Amino acid sequence: MVREALEFWVSDPAGVYMDLTLGCGGHSEALLAKHPQARGIGVDWDHESLAIARERLAPWGSRINLRQGNFCRIGEILTQIGISRVNGFLFDLGPSTFQILHASRGLSYQKDEPLDMRMGPTEASLSAAELLESLSNRELESLLMEFGEIHGGLARRLAGSILRNRPKTSGDLTRVLSDVTSHRGLWARCFAALRIVVNREMDNLERLLKIMPDFLAPGGRIVGISFHSLEDRRVKNSFRKACAGGVLKLLTKKPIRAAPDEIRANPKARSCLLRVAEKI
């Protein structure tokens, strides 16, 4: 949803815009190409994605400032750059296609790779395989229920099967899951739940949502793209709370969804939800 995101993101064609999930640089490239006076700040936790974006965005020179770090640390990043306010934030949650297909982190049931799942510095957290070594059946069941939205006896059976086998690779995990259910959508939910916990994604998102308005210039906008109901619920609730407090106003009463042509070109876009709020 690059077209829609860019339309809402830019309120001042000569402003400064922060891409909090830079990935391989697609949104930032579109910003710089369409608005010659705009400047960008790109942030990504993943050094591999950042390297790709750096090469892709090199033609734009000093108009783009790239930083490695978790997006919930925007205050520190902006202080380092010497900027106190920006005209817009954009975040596009979840792993990128590059990370799923090429980063060898065990993020997909379609590949057999080490069960790592870490998006940021690997010394800072446990890998998914290490996490599974540390969990009890009850803890893993709770994790699958909360972050995978898998309920009842199925979560219990999946947790038991996983911990009896303690998978080390994504292929191992897929085989364990297939012993319990043939539903690939449930496999995907299990993978997502582990990734979310490994990277503390919900905690980091909640911290980001809380602090973003403090670094947004009046009239500036926050554009949030979510693919998972857990993420979208947090974005929606945060925007509503800030609106009730007179800090933001909603520009999208309901989330914007991808157009049919984009879904045909990219089936993943089917679950995409875009929400926008503006600083009062």
Mean pLDDT for the chain overall:
94
**Could you say which of 161, 179, 198 is where a domain stops?**
198
Q: How confident is the model at residue 122 (pLDDT cuts 50, 70, 90)?
A: low
Summarised one tens digit per residue, pLDDT across range 25-42 is: 999 999 999 999 999 999
- pLDDT of residue 10 exceeding 80: yes
Residue 94: what pLDDT? 87
Residue 123: what pLDDT? 59
Summarised one tens digit per residue, pLDDT across range 238-271 is: 999 999 999 999 999 999 998 888 888 888 788 8
Residue 124: what pLDDT? 61
What sign results for the dihedral spanned by CA atoms 54, 27, 17, 34? positive
121 lies in some domain: no
Quote the domain boundaries for residue 256: 2-98+202-279
Number of domains in the chain: 2
Residues 69 and 12 in one domain: yes
Q: How confident is the model at residue 200 (pLDDT cuts 50, 70, 90)?
A: very high
242 lies in some domain: yes
Residue 21: what pLDDT? 96
Which residue from 167, 161, 127 is spatially nearest to 141, judged by alpha carbons? 161
**Could you say which of 153, 176, 198 is where a domain stops?**
198
Strand order in the sheet with 248-250: 64-68, 39-44, 16-19, 86-92, 216-226, 273-279, 248-250
pTM: 0.94
58 lies in some domain: yes
Residues 12 and 76 in one domain: yes
